Structures are given as structure tokens and as C-alpha cells.
Amino acid sequence: MSKSYSFMSQVFIFGLGIGVNRLLWLLALPVLSSFLIAEDFGRIASLTVIGVVLRTIFGLGIFSSLGIVYFDKDTPQQRAKVIGSAVTFAACGGVLLVLLSTQFATSLAERFLDNADFHHLIILQSVAVALQLISEPMLLRLQFDKQAISYFFVAVALPIIGVPIMLILIAYFDFGILGWCVGQLINGAGQLILAAFILGKTRTISLGTFPYILQIIRFSLPLWPSVSLTYFMQYSGHYFLKELSNLEALGLYSLGFSLGMVMNLFVSAFGTAWVPYFQSFQKQQKEATDKFSQIAVFYLCALGGLVLLAFVFARPTVYLLMEPQFFDAYRVVGLIALAQALFAFWIVLQPVLYFNKRVSLISLFQGSGAVCISLSSWFFVPIFGPEGAAYGSIAGGIFLILIQISYNASQQENVCAYDWRRLAVSFVFTGIAIQSYRLFEQDNGIWASFGFGIFCFVFLAVLSWFVILNTENKLLIKQYIRRKQPAASETK
């Protein structure tokens, strides 16, 4: 039980930190939508995708494999060397990234920003990505050591500094997209400084060694395609809209995408705690069966409710935060949240791959999912525009879940025995609730739709409590709440 409580606490704190971080950036939308046009948001989306590609290429996937090497070591000194080696490798990759980006900045700007004069934005974005690469191993160590409070501090402090500076540059000095790039640069520099400061105060620091770097690379190379495909599946909609439509459509999609990625707050919080959690059962796999099954049911019920709320709050939020010319962005928000939820649930099904040491299959599955997304997007985008890009991602998420379920079912000694009946019932209930809301919203006003959406959410929550969650699930939730209440009263 104690491990489950600790896991839930980690998810909450990580989620709170990531949530406050994302909220502060989202609060900038009213100002951004007042001073930028749809094409500007399209270029920001293109810069974001460029940053993702650069991070993937020059990071070599080491951040996905770092936990494997880290937890394989027994002493704090050895683990410190693992992190130091990862930082050294990331620094080399960051320097190379900036040098090459500077060399090809003009070509990249002409190809992806439709104007070679924006080459300086490419350079600024590459520097920001390089700084993030260097700081990432330090942040991962905070996660591995379950230092959720320190992680929360870093996540919250960065936008408190970066967002106001970005808004001043855009609104007062009329910097336009350049102001956004400077904000990203400040975010990257601040992340590196804060992470290094916290680790220097609380943890053993060690320089990297060549053997450790080679070990990290050896584990990361099989995962590199997986990392690349993960980012492709997340951001492929941007590419297909740029190729099959125009910057204005890409701008609307990117705004809806930003709001829909609020779902990623919960997903990232869970993933941040989930990977170290299930890897800690590597040598205690028999204990994992019941725990993983319970977590899967909890997670799916929570995801279903959050996705429904994303659909319900999309329209009021967009109308509140954005100018009228961007109102159509709300149509994408719930769909993006649904796609993220599907990708997230696929991660819940993955421990069997790690326990069987078949991690390389993740890349194969993702490659198949990427093909599914590409084919779906080429079909849907010309018909539905920005919504079509989201439909492509949803198709890919469903495909990944189905292929992972098929693999898990084929394993005779599968320690991750999930309760498929309850999971299937949760999927069906959530799907009915979401589709009912979408049909109602088509013919009704914003507030009537909002009221009906809240009714659907409450009804879904009641069904989940009485039909999906079993007695043991409910008892665990009640005990967790009781444990938190005394702590809250003592604080007061």
C-alpha cells in the first residue's frame, strides 16, 4: 500500500507543478491573440516542431534510457556519475546543434517559416533547445530520486520570470514572434540554472566518464527511433497542415493544440511518476500484477473524465482567452485531449515490454502507429482541416492500444494481468458521454452545451464509482484521502 500512496502523491505534486507551469503560459494567450495574427501562430507552431526535431536528433534518445542505467547502479556515487555523463553528452550535442542550426538557419526559415528573413528565430530556438537538453538529465534525477517538491519549484519559477518578459516584448516593444523566441530562451536558461543549483545543494555531483557515456548510448540507441516516433505522433498534425493547407489553418490548430495539451499536464505527471515506479518492480514482478491492474483502472477512469471536461470547457475557454478570429480553435481542443489520453493509456500497457526486455518493440509499434497517423492525416486533413489533423492522431492512438493489447495477450507469463472487462466498460461509458456531448453541442448555445456537459461528467463519475471501481479500488481511494486530511489539518 505504501508504494501506491507514494506513487499517487508523486503524481499529484508533479502534476501540480506542470499544471501551474502550463497555466501561466496559457494565461498569456489573451495578450498574444491581441498582438499576433493567425500566420504568426502558424510560424510559432513551426518553430516548436523544429525545436522538437532538433531535440530528438541531438538528444539521441538518452533521456528515455537514462532511468535504466541509473537504477542499475547501487551507490549514490555511481548514480551521480550516470547523471554527470548524461549532462556531458547532452552538452556536446547542444553545441553541435547550435553550430549546425546557425549554418542552415536561412534554408530552414525559408522552408518552414515561408520567409528567409526569419533565420534569426531559428538560431534563437536552437539555443533554447540546447539549454533544455543540458538541463534535462538534472531534472530527471529529481524525478528518479522522487524530489517532487524541487521539481515543482523549477516548473513554477520559470514561467513566473519568462512569461512577463515575453508579454512586455510583444505588447510594449512590438517584437512579435521574436518576443516569443526570447521567452523560450529565458525558459531554457532558467531551467538549466535552477536545476544545477538545486542538485548542487542537495545531491552528489560528479563529472561524466567515457565508459558511462558509452553505456548510456548503448541503451539509448535502440530507443532513439521510439523517441523520434513519439514526437512525430504528437506533432505530425502541424506538418500535415503546413503541407496540405496554409499557415492560417496551422495557426488555428496550434492554438487548439496548446489548450488540448492541457491534458498533457495529467499525462506528464503520471508518466513522470509511472516509469520510475514500474521499473522499480523489475526484480519484484510478482508484486506488480495487482498494483498495475488497479492503477490502470484508476487511470482510465480519470482520463475519461478529464477528456470529457476538455470538450466541455473548450468553447468557453477559447471565447474567454482569444479574439473572435481565433474562436474556431475550440473545435480542436477536445480532440487533441482525446488523442493524448489514448497515447497515455498505451504507456500504461507497456511494462511487460520492459520486464521481458523487449523494449525495442516499442519502436516497431510506434513506427506502425506513425504510418497509421500519416495515412489517416492525408485522408482527413483535406476534408476536415485542423480537425482532420486531430482525427489522424486519434486513429494512431487507438491503433497503438490495440497492437499493445495483442502483444500482451500473446505472452504466456504476463505479470501485467489487467482487468480487461472493467477497462472495456470504462472505454464504452466514456465514448458514449463524449459523443452525446458533441451531438448536443452542434445545435445548442455555449451555456446550454456547458450545462449538459457538466451533467454528462457527473453521470460518468457516478457510473465509474458504482459500476467500474471495485471495493478494493474504493477502499484505496478512501484510505488515501484520510491519510491526506490529517496532514492538511496539521499544516493549518
Question: Could you give the 3-state DSSP secondary structure of residue 28?
Answer: coil
Q: Which single residue is written with the C-alpha cell 538541463?
A: 135
Percentage with pLDDT > 90 across the chain:
25
**Cα 58 to Cα 409: distance, rounded to the nearest angstrom:** 36
The lowest-confidence range among 11-25, 188-202, 395-409 is 11-25
Query: Is residue 194 within 8 Å of residue 154, measured between CB atoms?
Result: yes
For residue 389, give the nearest of 263, 251, 185, 218 by alpha carbon. 251
Q: Can you tell me the mean pLDDT for 204-220?
A: 77
How many angstroms separate the Cα of 401 from the Cα of each of 16, 347, 378, 395? 27, 9, 21, 10
| Contact call for residues 181 and 119 (beta carbons, < 8 A) | no
Q: How far is CA 273 from the centre of its chain?
A: 13
Give dist(CA 293, CA 144) in Å, integer.
23
Q: Which of 414, 415, 408, 413 is nearest to 284 (CA)?
A: 415
Domain locations along the chain = 2-485
pLDDT greater at residue 203 or residue 29 = 29
Give Cα 64 distance to the centre of its chain. 13
Would you say residue 13 has pLDDT above 80?
no
Burial 42-80 (b: 16+ CB within 10 A, else e): bbbbbbbbbbbbbbbbbbbbbbbbbbbbbeeeeeeeebb
Contact between 99 and 123 under an 8 Å Cβ cutoff? The reply is no
DSSP code string of 327-358:
GGGHHHHHHHHHHHHHHHHHHHT-HHHHHTT-
Q: If we measure between CA atoms, which residue out of 50, 106, 90 comes closest to residue 231? A: 50
Q: Yes or no: say if 10 and 148 are a contact pair by the CB < 8 Å rule.
A: yes
Work out the pLDDT band at 315, boundaries 50, 70, 90.
very high
For the chain, what is the radius of gyration of the CA atoms? 22
Mean residue pLDDT of the chain comes to 82
Average pLDDT over residues 2-18: 59
The predicted pLDDT at position 139 comes to 83
Confidence of residue 488 (pLDDT cuts 50, 70, 90): very low
pTM of whole model > 0.85? no
